[in-house]
Structure 1
């Protein structure tokens, strides 16, 4: 269960959100944005059930993009479609185009394993392997054939990149499960970046953490965005306002006959605009706590 202090904050006063939202002047002009993802008409199905429909937006290099919206609106489903993690779910399929540097990652000749190497993922609940701290980080590089001193260097750099090295450098042989929740999540981030991905997807990475650990993860995201492109799913409105450059807001469409829920993208824009001057009334109602 998420700590109450880091749970969904849709009832937050919008003035407070406006106070902490990133300054739009920090963002590069639109014509300077180098696109990493470009989604067009994306639908995601589980069997006959359409979980997400008609999603189109882009993600630029070295930006943090937040996906927000009420529970059941397909945020995590869409996130997993960005590195073909949904392929691992029987009956799941994606329609439309998920272009990564101009190539549709769902084309038949694209290797999903290579997609996941370039596009890493950090999950909601910290999930270290039941191995040593060193072996957790070394897992991916070893699969790629790295050994010896080169492997040691990669592990050290990944742990430094995840702001964890100083805390664990004297106990690399100890179990990753012995770490605190926040440390475990940073270990999982180190494991993800050890294989040198370009993109890191984060599915509510702070929802199971206390406020101090949450702040460490948020600081870390800001520190590593110059090396990685980050897409994060979050229920925490303040978190989205603090850390992201752009925000996509989703709603849930309920089928009254079957009671099934389909996610729909309502608005995608600079985070400052989403939280201070959204174009759609539904977005304003959500970020001001009128629904959600």
Structure 2
């Protein structure tokens, strides 16, 4: 997959301090973060996703912009996670799943016959809803990906850099040989983020990364997302509209529709700057959802 193999950003070594939550409250406002001129890293064009004969999501078109956080919101069953998983071909692992339309990464169709899905996931990493550290040491969790890619030297630096980038280094630097499963829930999720960025992807997909966490751990993950956006492009699925408003630059609102044949499928209703989605949406359905009239 040489045509999609690009030089990915390196995580600059950071201190363990994180951006104050107060500084994050304006992220959703376009003037404080989102750049309308930011070039798309990825783009979806008329994308539909099927499970067997069932069309789960229909005709989605939207950009994923460089070094921006894009949130996907909407009621349960509207296809948010299905679309997210299509961005790095995770749906390939589900029997009968297929994608129509085009999803590009730097203008390369990631579903083209000559494209290796393993290489797609090398550049487009994923953090799942439930923290899933391996039953290995903290060190081996982070070093797993680089080792799998053949890296043998400099692993200590890679592990420290990734844990620093995930705002976890100061908390675990003296217990790297301890099992990752011994960490708290929030620490485990940050460990999974460190494991993801250790292989230097360009895009990070996050599927409800805070749904199982308490408010304090959630705040740390949100602050971390804000930091990571300096080096990565992030797409997050969340049921928490306040979270989307706090951390994202762009928001896409999905809903579930029933067509004339009585078939239910997910549809993208609106994509825009987060500030506009939450203050002056173009679609009545978007306003109804964010004001709690349904969903």
Give TM-score scaled by structure 1 length. Answer: 0.90
After TM superposition, the structure 1 = structure 2 runs for residues 122-133 of structure 1, keeping only pairs within 5 Å, are 122-133=127-138
Partner of 2:188: 184
Residue 24 (structure 1) shift: 1.7
Query: Matches of 2:232 and 2:27 in 1, distance apart?
Result: 21
Residues 70-108 of structure 1 deviation map (CA, whole Å, 9 limit, x = unaligned): 000000000000000000111000000001111110000
Report the secondary structure of 1:56's partner residue. strand
Equivalent residue pairs, number: 271
8 Å contact kept, 2:28–2:250: no
Q: Which residue, out of 138, 159, 178, partners 1:155?
A: 159
Give TM-score scaled by structure 2 length. Answer: 0.89
Residues 166-196 of structure 1 deviation map (CA, whole Å, 9 limit, x = unaligned): 0000111110000000000000000000000
Matched, 1:70 2:75: yes
Report the secondary structure of 1:52's partner residue. strand
Partner of 1:286: 289
8 Å contact kept, 1:35–1:61: yes
Query: Matches of 1:53 and 1:172 in 2, distance apart?
Result: 45
Query: Matches of 2:218 and 2:230 in 1, distance apart?
Result: 20
Matched, 1:248 2:252: yes
Query: Matches of 1:286 and 1:21 in 2, distance apart?
Result: 21
Partner of 1:221: 225
Residue 253 (structure 1) shift: 1.3
Query: Matches of 2:35 and 2:235 in 1, distance apart?
Result: 20
8 Å contact kept, 2:34–2:249: no
Q: Which residue, out of 68, 81, 84, partners 2:86?
A: 81
Q: Which residue, out of 48, 51, 56, partners 2:61?
A: 56
8 Å contact kept, 1:68–1:247: yes
Residue 264 (structure 1) shift: 0.2
Q: Extract unaligned runs of 5+ from structure 2.
A: 1-24
Residue 254 (structure 1) shift: 3.3
Residue 27 (structure 1) shift: 3.9
1:29 and 1:218, CA in 2 relative to 1: closer, same or farther beyond 3 A? closer
Query: Matches of 1:82 and 1:101 in 2, distance apart?
Result: 13
8 Å contact kept, 1:253–1:262: yes
Q: Extract unaligned runs of 5+ from structure 1.
A: 1-18
8 Å contact kept, 1:73–1:261: no
Report the secondary structure of 1:282's partner residue. helix
Matched, 1:22 2:28: yes
Query: Matches of 2:110 and 2:180 in 1, distance apart?
Result: 33
Partner of 2:272: 269
Give RMSD over aligned pairs.
1.4
Query: Matches of 2:209 and 2:237 in 1, distance apart?
Result: 8
Query: Matches of 2:32 and 2:119 in 1, distance apart?
Result: 33
8 Å contact kept, 2:34–2:273: no
Report the secondary structure of 1:269's partner residue. strand
Residue 121 (structure 1) shift: 0.1
Partner of 2:6: none
8 Å contact kept, 1:21–1:275: no
After TM superposition, the structure 1 = structure 2 runs for residues 1-40 of structure 1, keeping only pairs within 5 Å, are 22-27=28-33, 29-30=35-36, 32-40=37-45
